[in-house]
Structure 1
Amino acid sequence: MAHFPSKDDILGWIRENPGAVGKREIARAFNVKGAERIALKQLLREMQAEGAIRRERKSFREKGALPPVSVLVVEAPDVDGDLFAHPQDWDGDEAPPRILFIPGKGDPGITQGDRILARLTPAPEHASGHAFEARLIRRIGAGPRRILGLFRKTDQGGRIVPVERKADRDWLVPHGEHAGARDGELVEGEIVGNPRLGLPRAKVIARLGDPAAPRSVSLIAIHEHGLPVEFSEEAIAEALAAKPVPLGDREDLRALPLLTIDPSDARDHDDAVCAHADDDPANPGGHVLWVAIADVAHYVRPGSALDREARKRGNSSYFPDRVVPMLPEELSGDLCSLHEGVDRPCIALRMVLSADGTKRSHRFTRGLMRSPASLSYEQAQAAHDGAPDAATAPLLETAIAPLFAAYGALKAARERRQPLALDLPERKIILSEEGEVLSVAFRERFDAHKLIEEFMVLSNVCAAETLERRARPLLYRAHEEPTTEKLDALREIAESCGLTLARGQVLQTAQFNRLLDQAAGSDFSEMINLSVLRSQTQAYYTREAIGHFGLALARYAHFTSPIRRYADLVVHRALISAHGWGNDGLTAEETDALEETAKHISMTERRSMEAERDTTDRYLAAFLADRVGNEFEGKVSGVTRFGLFIRLTDTGADGLVPISSLGREYFHYDADSQTLTGERTRREIGLGMRATVRLAEAVPVTGGLLFELLEIEGKPAPRGAPVKGRGPVPRRKAVKARSKSSKLEKKAKRRF
């Protein structure tokens, strides 16, 4: 080009060359040389000042234009399950363009709030609703991250004090960014930058009300963990339009005494069972066992709005005061729930068992059932124990007794298989109508519980076997063996208690069970059970037949709870396709996405577990908040460099004893043996020891408890008295260790 470029020339060239372009590229394009380079530099500065172009490092781009490689912020999935994004930095006068994220094979899971570096291409002409398509280059990190906390007014505007125990700092809220929040109110904030000096900043995006309100406890967890709560209008409309299912081509199972046996406070009923003696002479003493599961797949069709909502949630989440369901109440609490005395569609399984509990055969069918009774575990157990009530008396001989007989056979098979036999009681939080904690207790476990568990385990095995035999894709439930490192740590703990975990053998659950048997009835029983649990890997979903170590099973698939787990719905659809029962089975698109689905629902399961655990901790802290200063009995459940964790006997609540409260003596921490040993007294504190503590602090909004140790194993807590004949640790080493321990303790106290 012979002429010096105008501003329009430069803008036009940048528009035609949207890649990274700097002053050198522009000068080369317009043949600008020598002294004209100074004039070009001045012209570019003017265009920047006018807002016509934007400089990014050493490159220029047109205002309101996106470079082909951009940093994007991922938005929430739409009703179709598609992920969209917007540019992290946008300087245009119009709204930023909508960008559709196109996931590639092998991409990591991308969720709302993630920041990604992506390559952009203009959307096809026929596309509607978005201007660009993005393909992942790499995931940068989460942002803008959201926080949940208490709003505190200050002269500078305000602060958000996070409710998350792991948080170690507050967030500054500038004037005008608090959305009208009042002092002490629970709020949701969004981080807006991270200054190099001072507190990071956030703005309030939602006011959630009084954190002291009883029913705010679960609400905190729901918001903190990002659990989807509201269903789309399309999903609600589909649920409202659902109708009862006629018999049609289904097998009529309404004559079978299929009972639902659930907790007394169950919110849904998705499984029913019945049994009778096998009249086949070739199977003396055998049993025929039926398990019927709600046919959710009939109502939740692949690709529907209900399906998208169910997949997004992955599972239901249960709290003491509410449930966040996977499906709308019209389905989960009605048409998909196997209520007493009404016709309900089901996918049923007929199994033939030998007298010793060996499964001889099984078959699946799509049927219509009608349960004669919905029983609680307590009712079923009382009837079996000889104290039937009005509901169970007519069913005792024909329905309840045969179920326990079949369970007796399966129990023998279980003993041979030796699945992991942990004994960890489940806490039950009792709330008043207003949502306040009335009591905390441990749920009783009856044979009725174990009966249903064994029936469901066997049903899940049958589902996996059938789909494997028919060469159909499915989602397995996988549980891998513990790692060598975790086994070594468990062995150290066992040996510190005078127990043994065998070495050098092919790892089997029976080895863990022998350790649990050694500890049974001793002061170490609960601690060993917890340690064995902590040594296990986390179960997850996958397309690979890895097996389930904890259950000692080679193949396992979730089939029995499609109302509350998306994995089970996928397995139902696979069974429908395998048997040719209808057009609502697993589609080719779903099959291609099974691995992605497995990763997603494994994540949602962990998310729900964390939310449920955090809610329990907060309810326990609320229950104990008015007992500060009281003394409690408990046991050492954890040992760290910064202190001890004590689990209270009555409630199962865990709290921290800061190491600084153990007197002036320095304590050496041994990670292998999980002990603290006094520098001078040589007093040792380890897992499982009986302790008496005083409650020093209870913070319901975080669920944190702080204790003061009074006694350990019946002796006064150590106070650092010197012991003759044992010299102190060299001063430099001791000071360095104390400094590190002090920093860890301060961080721990912020968490609690």
Structure 2
Amino acid sequence: MPRNVTPGLPTRQQVLDFIASTDEPAGKREIARAFGLSAQDKIVLKALLHDMADEGLIDSAPGRAFHKMGGLPKVTVLRVADVDDGGNVWAVPEHWEAETPPPRLRVRERKRGQLGIGERVLARTEEAGSGWIAHPLKTLAKASEQVLGVLRADGDRFWLTGVEKKERREFAVSDTGGAAAGDLVLAEKTGRSPRITVRVTERLGDPFAPRSFSLIAIHKHGIPDHFADETIAEAEEAATLDIGQDRQDLRHLPIVAIDPVDARDHDDAVWATPDDDPANAGGWKAIVAIADVSFYVRPGSEIDREARRRGNSVYFPDRVVPMLPEILSAHVCSLVEGEDRAALACHLQVTPSGTLKSWRFTRAVLRIAANLAYEEAQAAIDGELVHPLTDTALRPLWDCWRALLAAREKREPLDLDLPERRVVLDEKGRIMSVAPRERLDAHRLIEDYMIAANVAAAKALEAKKSPVMYRDHEQPSREKLVALKDYLETFDIPFTLGQVVLPKTFNRILDKVGESEFRPQVMEQILRTQTQAYYGPANTGHFGLSLGSYAHFTSPIRRYADLLVHRSLVRAYNLGDGALTTGEADGMERIGQSISGFERRAMEAERDTIDRYVAAFLSERVGQTVEARITGVQNYGFFATVEGVGGDGLMPVRDLGGEYFRFDEAARTLTGETSGELYTLGQRLELRLAEANSISGALRFELPTGKGAAAPSEADRRRGGPRVLKRRGRPANIRHQGGRR
């Protein structure tokens, strides 16, 4: 019997004391055993515990163990929410029903550095002073490793169909969690192979409802999409800060913000005028003004911790999951027309040849003259739209930009003009169109001003010997260059290994390709040859932009890396509150790794969502013939995309006909051994859209009726159908029959 426990029916306080003192989960059975209760007493105990729960004294955890209301179960599931500058790991309860904010627990790792943000652990909790300590017992599956799918009923049994394109299995459901057939749910795998089942942990609703596709990505990738009450309260308080008088006043300048027509926040604004400095005759003065987020989001605050936990905003066609609470991201920090706003201004001197002569940074107050859409600014400069700011603001911007453009062309950065798909929704979230986003000079103008400011920020911090969160992009690895060489040989395009590879090396390849029909495929292959850009305190340069020093400075509303660069500039130039701390400076490498991972997570989530919208848009064309282009060839078939819309789908080799198919790995081709029918990268052809699954985002194609390879011979039929012969040292005999590989 535990210490300090007297046999007999306990009082409310004795129950609370026992729950607080025991090291094990305290369920009804454990409480009854501790107080030596009889069978009759257990009935009374059950009523007592029920009353205590109704009175708000205790709460129950999964497994029916009790804990003090507002407290934590002795053993519970936690999610790692933060890793601070000192390397301390902090977690919060995965499920929290109390009205009070969830507690933050410091996790005592068995081995330092094992746990990262988003990890889930089963842990024993311990109240220590005014805080909590967590002792991990075992690591659980991450949210991204859980199963997201749709429930299907089969008699009195339920099955879960996953939303992943590659997930072909269905899982038996052991617990529906109150969800019904057709519901989109989040489930956790239980058991061991081959008897794995799933238990529904969260019902997400109708997977086909408007605006559900982004919700699928949010849950699949574990993207935090709700702010805690204390974070919102802190943001509301920060929004009331007086921006102060100790700022450079730029309100007299016609500074404009040029953004997408559907922009949800406005980080940046620009201004330019001819330079009156005789030492820079024919040059330009320019200002790139960026929202002064570091003034409102201070290091160590709840807003800051949450921003670091998110790493960046995530943009979907129907919503944005912001890095900062809306009162900051969409209001106080957003540079909107006619409102005084705090800004960190980058003052540039641009030479007539477009190089940067000098730069400096100030904290400023400005009032945006206009928020313009790219299309609106372009129409004004082209004379197709009369706008009052055309001569005073836009023409000087364009004239200065032409100098920046000349400098850009001289350094020859990587020039891959790959189209971006834009999904247009109506007010109810229904898809109106999917089409490539038009790229205008206005887009290039803003891009070049932002690049100039980013370069200036990196070089300014280097000159001050201050910490820099660089945007690094290393040159391609030899392995990828060898693969590119093999690929280009199939088009009779030479590529010499051993040469000094520069961005212009790839531009020359595209010059040789010209406007041939396989140009998009070569561009995509060159893109795949590039390394993944990342954030870090060590400068490796930016290969793609052909720049030696580069940092992200221009989007602190939506990127944590930019916020760190702002703080470093505030510290380097002694600009006041919100400067980079010593802890942040020391933790740059770890923070860079973390936010680089969050960036990749956002990119995957955004891409998955676009794929689902495209599949939903194309679902009305199932059974129709569409114009398609082959984007990938494998031994089991080829992938194709619908021209002008996008979305990749598989054309299985088993549906190409009954003959043998030879797969050439280097050339990425499938060739019919009897008919000579050839399928190759970049090939345009007509295909029948057989399936468009909006839940997984997957498409499947078939050949139009009457087309395809030769009918199978008698020998082929005896062998079981089509077969692929694979070259380049791989297994040669891969048989396809009965829909299986």
Q: TM-score range by the shorter chain?
A: 0.7 to 0.9
Equivalent residue, structure 1, for 2:41? none
Q: TM-score, normalised by structure 1?
A: 0.81
Aligned match of 1:719 in 694, 697, 710? Answer: 710
Give me the whole-angstrom Cα distance separating, in 2, the residues matched to 1:572 and 1:639.
Answer: 46
Q: Residues 131-530 of structure 1 correspond to what in structure 2 (within 5 A)?
A: 132-133=134-135, 142=142, 145-155=145-155, 157-174=157-174, 177-191=175-189, 193-198=190-195, 200-241=196-237, 242-243=239-240, 245-389=242-386, 392=387, 394-530=388-524
Give the secondary structure class of the aligned counterpart of 2:646: coil
Give me the whole-angstrom Cα distance separating, in 2, the residues matched to 1:216 and 1:348.
Answer: 39
Aligned match of 1:687 in 667, 675, 681? Answer: 681
Equivalent residue, structure 1, for 2:634? 640
Amino acid at match of 1:263: P
Give me the whole-angstrom Cα distance separating, in 1, the residues matched to 2:460 and 2:546.
Answer: 19
Give me the whole-angstrom Cα distance separating, in 2, the residues matched to 1:498 and 1:707.
Answer: 30
| Range moving further from structure 2, 738-747 or 579-588 | 738-747
| Range moving further from structure 2, 486-495 or 251-260 | 486-495
Amino acid at match of 1:240: E
Give the secondary structure class of the aligned counterpart of 1:507: coil
Q: Which runs of 5+ in 1 are unaligned?
A: 1-6, 9-49, 52-62, 65-70, 88-96, 723-727, 748-752
Q: Which runs of 5+ in 2 are unaligned?
A: 3-32, 35-64, 67-74, 95-102, 714-718
Aligned-residue sequence identity (percent) comes to: 46
CA displacement at 1:484 relative to structure 2: 1.6
Question: Does 2:73 align with 1:77?
Answer: no
Equivalent residue, structure 2, for 1:668? 662
Give me the whole-angstrom Cα distance separating, in 2, the residues matched to 1:487 and 1:683.
Answer: 30
1:336-395 deviations in whole A, cap 9, x for unaligned? Answer: 000001110000011111111011111111111111111111111111111233xx2x21
CA displacement at 1:710 relative to structure 2: 4.0
Amino acid at match of 1:288: K
Give me the whole-angstrom Cα distance separating, in 2, the residues matched to 1:478 and 1:745.
Answer: 45
Aligned match of 2:597 in 598, 603, 616? Answer: 603
Give me the whole-angstrom Cα distance separating, in 2, the residues matched to 1:203 and 1:372.
Answer: 55
Equivalent residue, structure 2, for 1:554? 548
Equivalent residue, structure 2, for 1:37? none
CA displacement at 1:522 relative to structure 2: 1.2
Q: 1:282 to 1:613 in 2, by over 3 A?
A: same
1:222-273 deviations in whole A, cap 9, x for unaligned? Answer: 1111111110111111222212644411111111211000011111111000
Give the secondary structure class of the aligned counterpart of 1:273: strand
Give the secondary structure class of the aligned counterpart of 1:653: strand
Give me the whole-angstrom Cα distance separating, in 2, the residues matched to 1:244 and 1:111.
Answer: 31
| Range moving further from structure 2, 345-354 or 670-679 | 670-679
Amino acid at match of 2:176: H
Give the secondary structure class of the aligned counterpart of 2:402: helix
Quick check: 2:275–2:281 contact (8 Å CA) kept in 1?
yes
1:678-702 deviations in whole A, cap 9, x for unaligned? Answer: 2334443211111111101111111
Give me the whole-angstrom Cα distance separating, in 1, the residues matched to 2:693 and 2:524.
Answer: 25
Quick check: 1:293–1:346 contact (8 Å CA) kept in 2?
yes
| Range moving further from structure 2, 553-562 or 516-525 | 516-525
Give me the whole-angstrom Cα distance separating, in 2, the residues matched to 1:615 and 1:534.
Answer: 21
Give me the whole-angstrom Cα distance separating, in 2, the residues matched to 1:279 and 1:439.
Answer: 48
Amino acid at match of 1:287: W
Equivalent residue, structure 1, for 2:571? 577
Give me the whole-angstrom Cα distance separating, in 2, the residues matched to 1:573 and 1:720.
Answer: 68
Give the secondary structure class of the aligned counterpart of 1:129: strand
Quick check: 1:461–1:556 contact (8 Å CA) kept in 2?
yes
CA displacement at 1:74 relative to structure 2: 5.2
CA displacement at 1:470 relative to structure 2: 1.0
Amino acid at match of 1:589: G
Quick check: 2:455–2:551 contact (8 Å CA) kept in 1?
yes
Quick check: 2:636–2:724 contact (8 Å CA) kept in 1?
no
Give me the whole-angstrom Cα distance separating, in 1, the residues matched to 2:231 and 2:131.
Answer: 22
CA displacement at 1:472 relative to structure 2: 1.1
Amino acid at match of 2:90: L
Give me the whole-angstrom Cα distance separating, in 2, the residues matched to 1:710 and 1:214.
Answer: 32
Quick check: 1:74–1:83 contact (8 Å CA) kept in 2?
no
Q: Residues 111-126 of structure 1 correspond to what in structure 2 (within 5 A)?
A: 111-114=117-120, 126=129
1:257-306 deviations in whole A, cap 9, x for unaligned? Answer: 11000011111111000100012222221111110000011111111111
Give the secondary structure class of the aligned counterpart of 1:569: helix
| Range moving further from structure 2, 71-80 or 314-323 | 71-80
CA displacement at 1:491 relative to structure 2: 2.1
Quick check: 1:113–1:144 contact (8 Å CA) kept in 2?
no
Give me the whole-angstrom Cα distance separating, in 2, the residues matched to 1:744 and 1:366.
Answer: 69
Quick check: 2:187–2:200 contact (8 Å CA) kept in 1?
yes
CA displacement at 1:544 relative to structure 2: 0.8
Give the secondary structure class of the aligned counterpart of 1:83: strand
RMSD: 3.4
Equivalent residue, structure 2, for 1:532? 526
Q: Which runs of 4+ in 1 moved over 6 A?
A: 78-81, 103-106, 138-141, 731-736
CA displacement at 1:462 relative to structure 2: 0.8
Equivalent residue, structure 1, for 2:132? 129
Give me the whole-angstrom Cα distance separating, in 2, the residues matched to 1:590 and 1:602.
Answer: 16
Q: 1:509 to 1:360 in 2, by over 3 A?
A: same
Equivalent residue, structure 2, for 1:110? 116
1:303-359 deviations in whole A, cap 9, x for unaligned? Answer: 111111111111011111111111111111110000001110000011111111011
CA displacement at 1:633 relative to structure 2: 1.1
| Range moving further from structure 2, 72-81 or 566-575 | 72-81
Amino acid at match of 1:209: G
Amino acid at match of 2:148: L
Give me the whole-angstrom Cα distance separating, in 2, the residues matched to 1:348 and 1:616.
Answer: 35
Q: 1:249 to 1:405 in 2, by over 3 A?
A: same
Give me the whole-angstrom Cα distance separating, in 2, the residues matched to 1:222 and 1:483.
Answer: 33
Quick check: 1:115–1:143 contact (8 Å CA) kept in 2?
no
Quick check: 1:388–1:396 contact (8 Å CA) kept in 2?
no
Q: TM-score, normalised by structure 2?
A: 0.82
**Count of paired positions:** 655
Amino acid at match of 1:231: F
1:566-613 deviations in whole A, cap 9, x for unaligned? Answer: 110011011111111113111112222222211111111111111111
Quick check: 2:160–2:170 contact (8 Å CA) kept in 1?
yes
CA displacement at 1:450 relative to structure 2: 0.2
| Range moving further from structure 2, 235-244 or 687-696 | 235-244
Quick check: 1:346–1:369 contact (8 Å CA) kept in 2?
yes
Amino acid at match of 2:117: T
Give me the whole-angstrom Cα distance separating, in 1, the residues matched to 2:112 and 2:530.
Answer: 27
CA displacement at 1:101 relative to structure 2: 2.1
Q: 1:418 to 1:588 in 2, by over 3 A?
A: same
1:448-483 deviations in whole A, cap 9, x for unaligned? Answer: 100000110111111111111111112111111112
